[in-house]
Each structure stands twice: as C-alpha cells, then as structure tokens.
Amino acid sequence: MTDAVAATIAEKVSLKEIIFGQLADRVAANVPTATHFTLTLSGEDSQFSRFNRARVRQTGQVSDGNLTLTVMQSERTAAATLPFVGDFEADWSLLKTALADLQTMVPQLPVDPFVVLPTGTATSRTVNHGQVLATDAIAATLLSPVQSLDFTGIYAGGLIFRGYADSAGQRHWFEGTNYSLDFSLFDDQNRAVKGTVAGSQWQQATFLDKIDQAKQQLAMLGRPAKTIERGQYRTYLAPAAVAELLHMFSWGGVGEADLQQGNSAFGLLRQGQRQLSPKFTLQENFQQANVPRFNAYGEVAPMQLPVIQQGQLVNSLVSSRSAKEYQVTSNYASRGEHLRAPEILAGSLGENKILTALDRGLYLSNLHYLNWSDHPNGRVTGMTRYACFWVERGEIVAPIDNLRFDESLYHCFGEGLVDLTDCQETIPNTDTYDQRSLGDSRVPGMLVDEFTYTL
Amino acid sequence: MHKLLSDVVAAATVSADWIGIRTVKDISRACAIRDAHPERNSQHFGHGAMVEVLAQGQFGYSATNNLSAESLSAAIVIAYNQAVAASAWSVHRFTPAARPKATGSYVSPHQLESIAPGELNEILLQVCDRLKVSDKIAQTSATARSHDIETWFVSSNGSDIYQRQCLVETHFGTIAQDGPTTQLRTDHGYLAHSYQGGWELFPGVDLWQRVQQVGEQAVELLYADNCPDVATTLVLAPDQMMLQIHESIGHPLELDRILGDERNYAGGSFIKLEDFGALTYGSELMNVTFDPTVAGELASYGFDDVGTPATREYLIRSGKLERGLGGLESQQRAQVPGVANARSSSWNRPAIDRMANINLEPGDRSFGEIIANIDHGIYMETNRSWSIDDQRHKFQFGCEYGRLIENGQLTRTLKNPNYRSITPQFWHSLSQVGDRNTWEIYGTPFCGKGEPNQLIRVGHGAPVCAFDNIEVFGGAV
C-alpha cells in the first residue's frame, strides 16, 4: 500500500469514528430518560482477490457497515440493524426512523426478565493500522512466485472497524488494517497442502517462506498413498487440526446457557461423570488477540480467563444475560458465549520429537467439516484433509487418502491425550461470512492414542 | 431505483466491455422465544449495490452500501481498475456472452405482508408452552423470521430485471433430559420450514399437532433403544433427504467446484467434466431436477443474479448424469451444459455457482408399500449431524428420530440414528422411491460456500426413499 492510500484510509477511519460518536450522541438526545439503548457498529473496507490455478478468478472491493440499535424500556427490548454509510445526515435519517420503529414496537413485546441494561463505565480505544498490499499489486505479488504451482485461495485485506456506545455513556472503538492469505497448493494427483499468512504488515519474505514450506510438504505427498483400514491409531494432530477441534468448544460447548439447557458436550464434565486430562488447559487470553475485548453489552472481558484448567471445567463462558437467568456471575462473555480469544496451553512434547513420540500412526495436518455425531457424549465426526501421513518407526512413510474419524472430545482431550507440543501456533480466523472476521486461536499440536477412524 | 442505476451506467466513462449494477434491498424481521421468554426481537434493513465491470476479459467488482450516484459512479471506476489490474492473470478471458441482455420480473407468491410483533411473540410463546409436554422437557425454543428482498439489475447491454422474494422461515424444537441423557427433537430440523410466501404460511393449520408430536417424541427418545450397529435397509424421510440431496448431489455437481475454484475452502468434487452425459450417478429410480420454478419453494426465482432466465432442468435422469450446476461463467470455462444458478448471498458478494431448488422427483411407491417391502431396516427422520469430505465422497449423517423396521412393519423407536456411506455406492443402492403423497419440500438459509464466504438459501423437495445395505449405527449407550 502506498503512503497516500494509507493516509486516505486513516482519514476515512477517523471520520467513521467521529460520525459513530455523533450518531450515538444524537440517539442519546432523542430517547426518553427511562429508555436505555446500545448502539454497535461493524464494518469494513475490504479487498477480496480469489485465485485458482495461480490465476485470478474473482477480484473486488467491498465497503460495508452496519449499525445495530437496541432499545430497552420497561423490561422489554428490540433491536434494529441498518446500513452505516459514514455520512452523518444519511445515517441519522435511517437511525432516527429505526429508533421510532423500535419505540413503537417495544411496548407490544412480552417482558424479557433477563434483559441486560447498560450500566458500566467502560471505555476503550484500539487502533492498529498496518501495511497491506496495494490493490494493483496483489496479483503480481502473489502469483509471480507460484506460476509453476497449482495455487488456489483468497487474499482478503483492508480496514475493519467496530464501535460500541450506550445510554450509560460507555464507548468503545476498535479498528485495524490487516490481511489474510489462505491458500492451498495441489499436485497432479489432487493432493494438497494448506498454508495461511496473516497479520497487519505484509511481509513478502514470510509469504515466500510459507510457499517453500508448502512445496516441501507437497513433494512428500507425491509418494504412493497408503490405504488405511478403519480402526484406532495413535495420531498426531498438528495445530491447525487442533484448532478445528477447538471450534467445537464454541458450538454447544463451554457456554453457560448451553450447559444449563442440556445443549452442551460438557454437561457430563460439569456433572463429574466424565473427565478430561490434567494435561489439558484451555483459556481465553486477549493478551495478543486481534479482537475487541468489549462485547455487545459494552463490557470488557478479563484479559485472561481459565476455562478448563488441568482437565477441570473451572469457568464456563457466562454472559450477563445468562448471569441474570441462572443467578451466576458474569465473566463478560459474548451474548453467544463462544470463545473469542482461545488458547490451549503448550505441553512438553518437543517439536523435533513429534515423529519419534508418534512412532507408528497418523500425522494429520488439518481436519475438515466437523460436526457432532453424539453431542451429549462429546463425540465429533469429520475428515482428515491436506497433508496427512502414515508414520512408522518415527518416520513418515506415505501420504494417506482422506479418512473419516469419529471420536469423543473426552478421549482426545482426556484419557487418550499423550502430550501437547511445547510450542503453540497462532491460527488466524479467516472466515468471511457477511464480513471479514477478527481473532485467532493459539494452540499446540497434540498426540492422541487410539484415535478412531470409521470410513 | 431503476432510473438511478440506468443513469449511472449510461454516464460511465470507463472503456469497459460490460457494466452491471445489482442492488439489493432486504427488510427482515426475526422473533425468537426460548423457555417462555423472548430471546430476540429484531428487524434488519440492508441496502447496497454490487457493481461489476468486464474489461480486458476480466470481471472486477466494487460493492458499496452508499447508493448515491456519485458513489455508484466511483464504484464503477474501482471495479474497472480491479478488472484491469487482474486482467494479465485471468483464469479465463470472459466475454459479454457471460452477461447476455435480459429483461423481466419475478415476485414470490404471497398474501400477508406483515404480522404484529405482539401477535407473533404470543404464537411463539404458545409454541414453547405446548412443547413442554412433560417435566422432562429441559428447553423449548421457537423462532420465526421473514424477509422481503427486492433486487434490481441493470446493465450496459440493456438488462433490466426486478425481482422480489418474500420469505418466511420458522422453527421450533425441544431438548428433553433425564439425568445425563438428553435428546433433541425439532420441527424437521433447524429452520427447515423455510418457504417463499407471506405470513399466511404461519402458524398454518397443522402447527399445534406438530408441536405436540415434537414434544412427545423428544421424551420418547429419552427412553428409546440406541440405533443398532448394522448394515441394513435405510429409509429416509423427506426432511433427511433434503440434507442427503444437498450434500451428495447438489454440491458435487457444482461446476465451480469441479473447475477448482472452491478447492481451498469448501472443496472439489469426485465428478469430472467428462462425466456429464456419461456417468451413471445412481439407481435408475433417481431423477433429480434443478427447479427454480416451484411456487413456494425457498430458492425459486425468475433470473439468477447475472440475469440468466431460470428454467427447470434435469440434472440426473433415470440415474444418468446429464447436467451440472454452473452459471454462464462456468459454462464458458467448462464447455458443459449448466443452469441459471449464478447467485450471491447479497449485494456485497459476487455471484458464484450455487444450488437453488434441487429436487428428487417422486416415484411410485406409497409409504406403506415401501415399509411393507422391508424385512429389516431403519427409518430415520430429521437431520441433526452432517459431515462429508471435500470431494463429496465419504459422508456420515445423523438424525433425530429413528424407527426399527421388522417384517414390513415400523416397530420400536430408536435414538441416535446415524449412517455413513460413499456417495456413488449410496445412490446406486436406492431401491424404492416414494410417490407424490410422500413428497415434501423443505429449505435452509444456511448453505455455506465461496471465498469470500456466502450463506445462501436453497430448497429441496423429495419423497421418502429406501436404500439397501447401508451401514447404520447409534450413539454411546
């Protein structure tokens, strides 16, 4: 990105922040005293370039922003989402209409005894502008080094912004310029290697290193594949594969509402009927996470929150809404009570000892398409994907054809857990549903005994 | 809107081969109740434009929610620059034939455009209340959503299309619990009751009967036997056929997957381009159509998002693979027949190959005849778990509710019914197809695909079907 482009973005962002603040002030001036409100903003100015076979498939820009106004009065609440253009008059016109609609609607609604009124005094401001690729340089920069390769994937970069304001006077602003490149290299047998580069500063050397690493892995995939019979095998899950398993903790996992409503895989853990390994510790850690600490109630999460400590469920994720409903203490989780900055603590397995410790079994780089197969018992099914190998006597012998697994988290993170690696990797969240996502997870690799493969 | 878009396109100064603007206005409402308390009452207003430019054989796009003439004109320039910057690296040199002129309109059938928020909350509260058929009911939930989506499409070669889709999506379900055992039962799956139409669709004449049944079956499942681990005849209800069709027919036939566009995310396909017109996909009882013309089905439309008129086409006829799911861009690249399915989730995403309504056509067996023909089998209803590999080959699906079939009769209820198979083997094992009386339509708003990611609505109609010698299994005892 040129300095001129960076300056333009910075200018636009400060304008967005100013206008968001003006809109919040205007809402505050237009609601009756007994009415509470929250106003949130989520938006982006993003570049999306999509590649197939080291060529450009689609390329474009998206400028998008959405305001969500929530009105609370007499224990009733409703919300409206509307576009945020960044022009005060245009945005206030829509917001004023939404406010009027909500004030008409809310009295018609039933009482919500668990409505969370804004009461805090928190404010925060996080701004991190990086250096991303200039639009007209993306294709040449990314594709020139991979012309001899079957390279496919997506580059997504640009500005992301989030805002929060409420009737109690809390204000938060988060903005950043960052990018992610999520790619795969394929060989002529349709075997593939996955790579991700993400951050706020484009580093060409890092990109080229990642491509080199992927090429080396791809060469190993060229060996004849070994057919693996269904059964149980000692298995090493690389950090990207562990991150896929970790996603399941946010889907009917460690949220308090799910636990209370019989919709959690960890109900048996809380009831003391199943155990996890003392080697397993999971926490929320916002220390290095590229994600806002404030939630949709304006509350700021603790910098660190242990969730599962040495196998014990020590904290579920509790939103202030669940806190009211179940008479427990909020830890300022998001409304959906999902992990926002998850970290699995490292173990003792040295990176250079992974294959030796695995000895005979499967080395899995990635997993794909996970779903609960027996939710109350924590059982998950999914596929192996990308660079996965059969290992014998501590050496990679052959790639494998993709396998279906079906295994309980109580086994993976419980009695089957042999060790975790002594170093972690940061796995960025590259999702782009509706908008580019923020955040990442920090996870080590893990060695599991008797991991079950079914097809 | 039409005049604004036409004026902006006419005033464009870039030397493009084609310019198009598609604006989408989406007014949505959602209400959710859980355990007799409101969880959500919300409305959403979205409005924005996707500007596409074809220059030097490459499409570029710029999407913005600022609909002023100045902003749209600027978006044309941005899209043009995007196209030019990438043109030396194009995966294919497109021509304006990928965006032929089209004019027309489409409006969903609908009668009632709104329902009072208080009334809707009251209905959903009653649903939750009536789901609580026993003290074993641990959680109840009910949701209703509506969408009024208007689309205008104008282009430099004279396309002029207006479409309006009115949608109502509803759901209810319950979790029953006794000690450590929990069981989920829902109204055919999360938001499976998603249709085009207005509020005349809800509550509907059979709502309270369905609510009662869902509550009772949730409790029934708590004390049911686990599904056995056995290879047997599998009978799937239409609400599970929806998922089966979606994952193992719809996705593998998408031309962009076969062309490799999706390999980094959703995956590829075991189908090859040379398979169209040649491959026997499954049993000769298998007839599958792409049909965006079914009134009321969730993904019906008159034109896709690049203006291609939508028509009903056979994808698979008597088991033979005839045609893929690919829009005009994919058809240009692949040189195989496709359909009008270049679709986007909204104004802020470019069109890609998507399913719309993919239906399995009915056969000639009544439900009673299908069951009577089976000595031993398992009948399964309502998807609760889905997972399939990136080539759409090895899958494992789970259902909410099962029944054992013994000697031509439905007997005991079974909990945790799951099955796994490989797509070609599975469809070749199709042995009985239900008649029109067993055919039901469902939909889902959650088909995910694409980079950047897009969730899109699809509809699937299917009869009850039987499959021979399928591996089924249960959960932990």
Q: Are residues A165 and A292 in the same domain?
A: no
Does the structure show a pLDDT above 80 at A12?
no
3 state SS of A226: strand
Q: Is B446 on the interface with A (CB under 8 A)?
A: no
Q: Is B175 on the interface with A (CB under 8 A)?
A: yes
Tell me: the pLDDT tens digits for B421-447? 999 999 999 999 999 999 999 999 999
The confidence score (pLDDT) of residue B156 equals 98
Distances (CA, A) of B103 to A160, B19, B160: 37, 16, 5
pTM attached to this predicted model: 0.96
Tokens standing for residue A256:
């308090």
Q: Which of B78, B79, B91 sits opposite A53 (nearest CB)?
A: B91
Q: In this structure, is residue A207 part of a structural domain? A: no
Interface pTM (ipTM) of the complex?
0.96
Burial of residue A34 (number of CB atoms within 10 Å: 0-12, 13-18, 19+): exposed
Q: Smallest Cα–Cα separation from A213: which of A189, A241, A183, A237?
A: A183
Kindly give, in sequence order, each residue whose CB lies less than 8 Å from that of residue A43, ignoring residues fewer than 6 positions away.
A16, A64, A65, A66, A84, A160, A161, A162, A435
Q: What is the CATH number of the domain that holds A86?
A: 3.30.2290.10
Tokens standing for residue B145:
């959503």
Cβ count within 10 A of residue B129 = 14
Tell me: the pLDDT tens digits for A126-180? 999 999 999 999 999 999 999 999 999 999 999 999 999 999 999 999 999 999 9
Q: Are residues A235 and A169 in the same domain?
A: no
Q: Is B23 on the interface with A (CB under 8 A)?
A: no
Q: Are residues A369 and A442 in the same domain?
A: yes
Q: In this structure, is residue A102 part of a structural domain? A: yes
Q: Which of A85, A184, A404 sits opposite B263 (nearest CB)?
A: A184
Phi-psi map region of A99: left, alpha, beta (phi>0 left; psi -120 to 50 alpha): alpha
Q: In this structure, is residue A77 part of a structural domain? A: yes
Q: Which of A60, A136, A369 sits opposite B79 (nearest CB)?
A: A60
Does A381 contact B396 at a Cβ distance shorter than 8 Å?
Answer: yes
Backbone angles phi, psi at B437, to 5 degrees: -70, -20
Tell me: the pLDDT tens digits for A20-50? 999 999 999 999 989 999 999 999 999 999 9
Does B180 contact A273 at a Cβ distance shorter than 8 Å?
Answer: yes
What average pLDDT score do residues B258-268 get? 98
Q: In this structure, is residue A214 part of a structural domain? A: no
Compute and round to an integer the Cα radius of gyration of chain B.
23
Does the structure show a pLDDT above 90 at A7?
no
Burial of residue A96 (number of CB atoms within 10 Å: 0-12, 13-18, 19+): middle
| Chosen from A16, A50, A52, A58 to mutate, greatest number of chain B CBs within 10 A | A58
The confidence score (pLDDT) of residue B299 equals 98
The confidence score (pLDDT) of residue A441 equals 97
Compute and round to an integer the Cα radius of gyration of chain A.
24
Mind telling me how many Å the CA of B61 is from chain A's nearest CA?
4
Q: Which residues of B touch A138 (CB under 8 A)?
A: 85-86
Tell me: the pLDDT tens digits for B198-207? 999 999 999 9
Q: Are residues A375 and A246 in the same domain?
A: yes
Domain count along chain A: 2
Distances (CA, A) of A145 to A305, B147, B183, B350, B381: 42, 46, 53, 27, 51
Q: Are residues A137 and A246 in the same domain?
A: no
Mind telling me how many Å the CA of B101 is from chain A's nearest CA?
22
Mind telling me how many Å the CA of B81 is from chain A's nearest CA?
8
Q: Are residues A244 and A127 in the same domain?
A: no
Q: In this structure, is residue A114 part of a structural domain? A: yes
Q: Are strands A395-399 and B409-415 parallel, antiparallel or unpaired?
A: unpaired
Q: Are residues A256 and A136 in the same domain?
A: no
Tell me: the pLDDT tens digits for A190-207? 999 999 999 999 999 999
The confidence score (pLDDT) of residue A450 equals 98
Q: Are residues A61 and A129 in the same domain?
A: yes
Q: In this structure, is residue A370 part of a structural domain? A: yes
Q: In this structure, is residue A313 part of a structural domain? A: yes
User: Amino acid identity of B240?
Assistant: Q
The confidence score (pLDDT) of residue B119 equals 97
Does the structure show a pLDDT above 70 at B126?
yes
What average pLDDT score do residues A385-414 get? 96
Q: How confident is the model at residue B475 (pLDDT cuts 50, 70, 90)?
A: confident
Q: Which residues of B touch A192 (CB under 8 A)?
A: 263
Mind telling me how many Å the CA of B366 is from chain A's nearest CA?
31
Q: Are residues A166 and A246 in the same domain?
A: no
What average pLDDT score do residues B362-390 get? 97
Tokens standing for residue B31:
């209400």
Q: Are residues A113 and A252 in the same domain?
A: no
Does the structure show a pLDDT above 80 at A6?
no
Q: How confident is the model at residue A4 (pLDDT cuts 50, 70, 90)?
A: very low
Domain that holds residue A378: 231-453
Mind telling me how many Å the CA of B196 is from chain A's nearest CA?
22
> Across the A/B interface, how many CB contacts are shorter than 8 Å?
253
Closest alpha carbon within chain B to A109? B118
The H-or-E segment that residue A214 falls in is helix A204-221
Round to whole Å and give the CA distance between B402 and B226: 9
Tell me: the pLDDT tens digits for A348-379? 999 999 999 999 999 999 999 999 999 999 99
Round to whole Å and give the CA distance between A9 and A122: 27
Tell me: the pLDDT tens digits for B331-365? 999 999 999 999 999 999 999 999 999 999 999 99
Last residue of one domain, picked from the residues A133, A150, A177: A177
Q: Which of A56, A268, A383 sits opposite B58 (nearest CB)?
A: A56
| Chosen from B70, B243, B259, B387 to mutate, greatest number of chain A CBs within 10 A | B387
Does B264 contact A135 at a Cβ distance shorter than 8 Å?
Answer: no
Residue B217 has, within 13 A of its CA and on its CB side, a CA count of 23
Cα torsion at A94, A97, A103, A108 (round to 10°)? -100
Mind telling me how many Å the CA of B304 is from chain A's nearest CA?
18
Interface of B with A in 201-260 (CB under 8 A): 259-260
Mind telling me how many Å the CA of B345 is from chain A's nearest CA?
9
Q: How confident is the model at residue A10 (pLDDT cuts 50, 70, 90)?
A: low
Does A371 contact B387 at a Cβ distance shorter than 8 Å?
Answer: yes
User: Amino acid identity of B339?
Assistant: V
Does the structure show a pLDDT above 70 at B477?
no
Does the structure show a pLDDT above 70 at A13?
no
Does the structure show a pLDDT above 60 at A9?
no
The confidence score (pLDDT) of residue A5 equals 47
The confidence score (pLDDT) of residue A120 equals 87
What average pLDDT score do residues B260-272 get? 98
Round to whole Å and give the CA distance between B316 and B300: 19
Q: In this structure, is residue A311 part of a structural domain? A: yes
Task: Give me the percent of chain B exceeding a pLDDT of 70.
Answer: 100
Q: Which residues of B touch A46 (CB under 8 A)?
A: 452
The confidence score (pLDDT) of residue A288 equals 85
- All structural domains of chain B, each given as residue ranges with its CATH number in brackets, are 2-223 (3.30.2290.10), 226-473 (no CATH)
Mind telling me how many Å the CA of B323 is from chain A's nearest CA?
23
Does the structure show a pLDDT above 70 at B468?
yes
Tell me: the pLDDT tens digits for B134-170? 999 999 999 999 999 999 999 999 999 999 999 999 9
Q: Is B425 on the interface with A (CB under 8 A)?
A: no
Tell me: the pLDDT tens digits for A223-281? 999 999 999 999 999 999 999 999 999 999 999 999 999 999 999 999 999 999 999 99
CA A132 to chain centre: 21
Q: Smallest Cα–Cα separation from B388: which of B240, B251, B264, B191?
A: B251
Tell me: the pLDDT tens digits for B231-245? 999 999 999 999 999
Q: Which residues of B touch A143 (CB under 8 A)?
A: 89
Q: Are B166 and B147 in contact (CB under 8 A)?
A: yes
Q: Are residues A40 and A163 in the same domain?
A: yes
CA B240 to chain centre: 13
Round to whole Å and give the CA distance between A176 and A182: 19
- Looking at every residue in chain A, the average pLDDT score rounds to 95
Q: Are residues A171 and A266 in the same domain?
A: no
